[in-house]
Amino acid sequence: MKIAVARENRQGESRVAMVPELVGKLTDLGYEVLVEPEAGTRAEYADALYVEAGAVISERALPEADVVLGVNALSSDRARQLRDGAAVLSFLPVNSSHDLVEDLRDIGVTAFAMELVPRISRAQSMDALSSQALVSGYRCAIVAAGLLRRFFPLNMTAAGTVQPAQVVVLGAGVAGLQAIATAKRLGAVVQAYDVRAAAAEEIRSMGAKAIDLELETLEGTGGYAREMTEDRAQRQMDALAPYVANADALITTAAVPGRQAPMLVTAAMVEQMKPGSVVVDLAAESGGNVEGSVPGQIIRIGHAQVWGGDNVASQMPGPASKLYAQNLVSLLTLMTSEGEFAPDFEDEVVAGAAVTHAGRIVHEPTREAIEGPAGPDEHLDPPNDQEDEK
Ligand code: NAD
């Protein structure tokens, strides 16, 4: 069976779904690996490295493949080049991609979305949201340190003492905790806040101070945060304002699954920050935690430079690609049996990640959003027709 590694077409995307180092894992599983020309170039993986690792560079990788690996979803036009029944594994933001999901259904592609891989212990090695959040959280702290025109660490020298930078991190999920850990390693004094009950302990375990706003915690399903009411949001902003005003660097990473990023910091709060201060908003491209932040740009609000994140993981394409490729290898290992791509739709991880299969939308919330409520007799479980996949 043939696996194709797609060349990414998204503007500004530098990652690639498979790295030369892991091609051998795919051939060990029994796959022939085809790579579209220059697929890895922007992540510093030249075509020759894939060839050395045992892959074939081919312009016809997509039409010949049984399985396609991508970072971003294929466009409808590219998906139409695929063989009947071919499968695609990539990120696929289902809530904002209804037209594409309909096309994938109609084309007959079996599409898996990496965002939908259930976050259970068994699937940790397949969790691409976490691997990419790790990269972007690190990057945010480095960007803040780079933009700030002063030291992060305390310096005690013969010429006097330089006080450490005060860093505030809002949102302490995977990205936020990595930003905290990185800022701590650089020597800053770090304080952080998150709405989840478990977060305070996680923040402290990174060596930072957990900010206690004396507000109720907001826990949703699966250990994720819930959306705030308007009143809760206002009280949180009022309580956070002095921490923001006192920060040299503010890093925001808050998100609520399936929703726009919550707005946590108003422009008026940023205007209270000191001259030379820096704001790094990782959530800028999903609505923004900071009012006025612009993805991919640095703007000025009051005295602060405000940096808006835009596909931040792609700014470190080598490690981001390697971690993502390892996530894919783990998922493919689960979906491969005796050298054949044979996803078992009875498996919780496979069923959870599946979006379209055999001409149907099998991710029920997406199906309902696109096709409307199911009739009483409709059978909605993903079919267990592995034979179709071979
Ligand atoms: P995320 O990207 O959805 O959100 C980032 C953070 O923003 C979260 O910690 C969230 O609580 C926080 N947030 C949301 N609204 C906020 C607000 N108004 N103010 C401040 N903070 C706010 O989260 P994530 O990084 O994907 O992780 C979310 C949870 O999932 C964490 O508990 C994490 O440990 C857990 N997780 C579990 C697994 C696993 O079991 N395999 C893997 C990854 C993450």
To test the ligand 1 pocket, which listed residue (174, 252, 266) has its Cβ within 8 A of the most ligand atoms?
A: 174
CB 208 within 8 Å of CB 192: yes
For 86-106, give one letter per residue: b (16+ CB within 10 A) or e.
bbbbbbbebeebeebbbbbbe
Active-site residue among 103, 127, 194, 248? Answer: 127
Atom of ligand 1 nearest to the CA of 202: 34
For ligand 1, the distance from its centroid to the CA atom of residue 126, given in whole angstroms, is 17
Query: Rounded distance, CA 115 to CA 106, Å?
Result: 22
Going from the Cα of 262 to the center of ligand 1, the distance in angstroms, rounded, reads 13
45 annotated active-site: no
Instruction: Assign 378 a pLDDT band (cuts: 50, 70, 90).
Output: low
Q: What is the pLDDT of residues 137-189, one digit of tens each?
A: 999 999 999 999 999 999 999 999 999 999 999 999 999 999 999 999 999 99
Task: Determine whether 130 is an active site residue.
Answer: yes
CA–CA gap between residue 296 and residue 280 (Å, rounded): 11
- pLDDT for position 312: 98
What's the pLDDT at 381?
Answer: 53
pLDDT of residue 141: 98
The pLDDT assigned to 386 comes to: 43
Q: What is the Å distance from ligand 1's center to 193 Cα?
A: 12
Give the ligand 1 atom nearest the CA of 196: 11
Whether 101 shows a pLDDT value over 60: the answer reads yes
Q: What is the pLDDT of residues 84-95, one digit of tens each?
A: 899 999 999 999
86 or 222, which is more confident: 86
pLDDT band at 388 (very low <50, low <70, confident <90, very high): very low
Query: pLDDT, tens digit, for every residue of 38-68?
Result: 999 999 999 999 999 999 999 999 999 999 9
* Separation CA 288–CA 386 (nearest Å): 42
Mean residue pLDDT across the chain: 94
> From ligand 1's centre to the CA of 169, what distance in Å?
13
